[in-house]
Structure 1
């Protein structure tokens, strides 16, 4: 298990700012920072004991060819009066998953926080994906989901803030839209999972069938920076590349397998840890009917594979397991045969 000193330092600084809260803030923050594609494995006292990268491999394979029922041309979407245009950004799905230079991402994030200086880390950004502030002295930590072209109304923002993990699908899509500034309220949900009132994950596909959103909602036990409760990622399904969370396809699949997930565990003793929280989403061969998640010898948590191979999960394990073990994520067909191992 490797350790990233830069990320570890960031997490320690964040934990220091929130003391003396008697909780493991590093573990709490882990989900909101999955854009770094890391798993954080934490001790009870809030110190980072290690960081293991999620395996996200990519290879050249045929493009996505799944049927697109009731498809519309990309970007064509009825305007919703609860959203207004963002200058210089296309509306609807056309404004999602745009690859952006730092100056444009900074400009868009400044629209969300006009009273804060925006200093983003990195050089490559995508609309609807989270960006983070540079960890420098005097720079306020912030997470910014780089906006698309649909600015939510104050009433919509207020409704989302009041109900962080809604019960209805419509309200979940509202919250995802508010976070991303991309109106996904009319997108088709193809997979979802939730722990009622605490956390939820979903995948939705755009009217044209060209774009997909993975969205995770969470209610944290402590105060968090604005926007930390909701994480979104967008994919352009016929243009998946090395910067996307893709795998070689399972045998016989018409599309690339996708998996993005991460979690945290603890408290940990010398040889064992207790508890693991994780959420995420993905796509697998249509032969698969379920995806299971297991850590140590504890019972597996299982979710169904939905339309066109999509799945989403929100997993809370309370049992104990060896300290050096991480979750195994496996897709199975109806006969119990392994279709894909996403993590082992």
Structure 2
């Protein structure tokens, strides 16, 4: 363990652990080539076909699978710990209660196991699936590195502590990303994943009615957006409705730079969305992404690769799970000698 960094997230104080990188060797592009029983098996193609077919039935998988990589990699690194079931596992933590895509990973894992049993980690399938989701959403294709092993530990308390909240200020967000070896450009690009998907009212309702405890709305929010969101999220409603993170109705499920144009018009939904355009440490990057879609997509692809290398487990650490939802059973003891 390298050390501890403490940052303020809204009104709470959270201790963030900067895990040492458990690395033996390097991740590789095309790691699984020639590793399956049939040397011609293309693992990435199998995952691509599985995710593509599932996306036809549920296009909301695009933001779900991108988010799944983020929520996995920010806790214990990219080790598929978020997939493990259990009453105290990561997926039971409040920040993960709206995370989706688990069945899509299960299906992709099953498809891979049929042709390449016991070889491909669930951690790598998350990474490949997120890349496929990005491309299906209109983003840039990028090569993914593979060779991760699956972790054996999943704790809700860690997910609650380590996942940044929607209200995290820019300075704390920079510190969190830096603790994982990610740059400010990586951070802004990855927050740009909000170009797809939705946010629940509970994650931004304070901006509508009680910003920073003032009893008033966030003065930086566009007035028409504020009026619209108050209809979607009535102050005393018990329903946790949703709003598109990208307020461009023609682009809310497309991986492009529309989100950055929207926040420049004060139409950010989450607190961090608007703050990265207002803060001098990040607004130049926002402007560069807003002005050049190709540049944003290239930087988003690079940031996804960088995030995918955070604190990974490589052989001989971890395991290759048989099921993505549970660690492998211990081996049976040898029969008693006669």
TM-score range (shorter-chain normalised) is under 0.3
In terms of fraction of residues, the more strand-rich structure is 1
Normalised TM-score (structure 2): 0.27
- TM-score, normalised with respect to structure 1: 0.27
Q: Which of the pair has more CA radius of gyration?
A: 2
